[in-house]
Amino acid sequence: MGTITAYLVYIFIAISSTIWVGRTLHKRGRVFILESFNGNEEVTDSVNHLLIVGFYLLNIGFVCLFLKYGNPPTNTIESIEYISTKEGIVLLVLGFLHFFNVFNIAKMRNKALHKKKYTEQGELRTSL
């Protein structure tokens, strides 16, 4: 496998996995974000869209910049090792960004639930 072929395979696999993870997070994360914004669908959809755009920009930018690093493969075994090492690092970055987003959304959700509980307790006191 030639160097150019290895690079193209790496780019294809890395961008494909980025898109697959991004679509999954976008689709499945909506419910979690919706709860964080107290059921406000307009804000939820806007934030969800902004998150996916940022996710794609960061990851695809990383994939492209990371292509430069490492020794170019000269044979088939090195090509396989090159592709798997690069893709492994890309997957670790994807995982890190996913947990970073989930952590921040969980903080927003907890803040929203705390505010909702506090508001409900205040309404309960004023109605007594």
pLDDT of residue 100: 84
pLDDT at 125 over 70: no
**Secondary structure tally for the chain: helices H, strands E:** 3, 0
The predicted pLDDT at position 107 comes to 83
Residue 74's φ and ψ, nearest 5 degrees, are -115, -10
pLDDT digits (tens, 9 = 90+) for 51-63: 899 889 988 898 8
* Backbone dihedral angles phi then psi of residue 75, each to the nearest 5 degrees: -145, 180
Q: Which distant-in-sequence residues (6+ apart) come within 8 Å of 86 by Cβ?
A: 10, 14, 66, 67, 70
Q: Which ranges of 37-75 would DSSP assign to H, the alpha helix?
A: 41-66
- Residue 16, pLDDT score: 92
Whether residue 25 contacts residue 64, with contact meaning beta carbons closer than 8 Å, is answered with no
- Amino acid residing at 123: E
- Res 42: pLDDT: 92
**Tell me, what's the pLDDT at 127?**
55
Higher pLDDT, 123 or 25: 25
Q: What confidence score (pLDDT) does residue 79 get?
A: 87
Whole-model pTM: value is: 0.71
CA distance readout (Å), 52 to 14, 20, 40, 60, 80? 16, 11, 18, 12, 30
pLDDT tens digits, 43-98: 889 988 998 998 899 888 988 888 888 788 888 898 889 889 888 988 898 888 88
Amino acid making up residue 53: V
